[in-house]
Amino acid sequence: MKKDTMEQFDRFFSELKNGYHYNPLISNESGRADTSNKSESKLQNTDTTTVDAVVVFALKDPERKMFQKACASSFVNDIKNGVVFQILDIKGEKRSIRIALATQREMGMVSAAIISTIALMTYRPKVIVMGGICAGVEGKVNIGDIIVANPTFNHEAGKKTERGFEAFFTQRNLTRNINDLCQTMAEDDDFLREIRDSWDLSTGKPATELSAHVVPMGSGSSVITETKTIESIAIHNRKITGLDMEAFAVAQSAYETLGNETPWLVVKGVQDFANPDKNDESREYAAFVSAKFIIEFLKRYFNP
């Protein structure tokens, strides 16, 4: 294993408590809690031992921040296994959905796999979801569009030979029911228009209408700012539409951690086209539309 990868593992686990504790109720008064955005109002039911879904983010800002803006729910910090989770409720038609938000300490697949595994072992949720931002392939999507990853794969997996790179992409696919639900939502123009119209800031909103795409997303270890990499990936997967640094790790963690028992979903907003023109102008908007899609997904998934 590469030295930098080992150091990343060491940094991540340096603060973990010994052993995993499934569903213990731990006081939020202990440990180092990130309370910068903590709501003063409490959840009506303060039992944090059981959650329906875990939502993972690579970044606190703008990804987790925009999710909390989108759902406008009070939350409490829950410290388990050295990780500070945010527990909140989303009100559905039939019942509320309790979710745990988990934020990586560093970007990338190593950290995504670790935080996802900890979250799965801690709460054993019915589904694990990743939200946030990604790059899109220009000409296939617009800035601000929503990408639902299906399948997701590690675009760097393979072998480097004298003849060049020989790709070996292990893919993870959505379950049929999650794919079908996301496809239905992606075709709901009224719903997508409501998401776009709910953005209440004067900056960041693209001129194009909001679209959602259930398409292949590749994950890699580096931020991409040139088109040659996308072209090389497309040789092996011509339908590639989204690029990020974490999606495959979340799906792989869901596949391996609890014996392939936990369905997964990755929903990200397109913030740029992974080229030299990339900027942060629509970064918050992209994270916000991803959050809105996820919230509606959870409502429909748990309130059929």
For residue range 119-138, what is the model confidence (pLDDT) as tens digits? 999 999 999 999 999 999 99
Choose the weakest-confidence range: 46-55, 112-121, 274-283: 274-283
How wide is the angle at C-alpha 89 spanned by C-alphas 188 and 49, nearest 5°? Answer: 130
Give the position of tokens 């794919």: 179
Q: Mean pLDDT across the chain, nearest whole number?
A: 84
Phi-psi region of 31 (alpha: psi -120 to 50; beta: other; left: phi over 0): left
Give the model confidence (pLDDT) of 257-294 as tens digits.
988 789 999 999 999 997 777 778 999 999 999 999 99
Model's pTM, two decimal places? 0.83
Choose the weakest-confidence range: 37-41, 45-49, 296-300: 37-41
Q: What does the pLDDT read at residue 277?
A: 75
Q: Is the pLDDT of residue 31 over 80?
A: no
In the 8-state DSSP scheme, what is residue 199? -
Choose the weakest-confidence range: 40-49, 54-63, 91-100, 188-197: 40-49
Q: What does the pLDDT read at residue 50?
A: 87
> Average pLDDT for residues 162-179, to the nearest whole number?
81
Highest mean pLDDT among 21-30, 88-97, 282-291: 282-291
Amino acid in the structure at residue 227: T
What gap in Å lies between CA 179 and CA 267, rounded to an integer?
A: 12
Determine how many CB atoms are found less than 10 A away from the CB of residue 174: 22
In this structure, the chain runs to a length of 304
Give 169-173's long-range contacts (Cβ < 8 A, gap of 24+): 169/218, 169/236, 169/237, 170/252, 172/248, 172/251, 172/252, 172/254, 172/255, 172/264
Choose the weakest-confidence range: 27-41, 93-107, 169-183, 206-220: 27-41
Percent residues over pLDDT 90 in the chain: 63
Class of domain 3-302: alpha beta
Q: Is the pLDDT of residue 155 over 90?
A: no
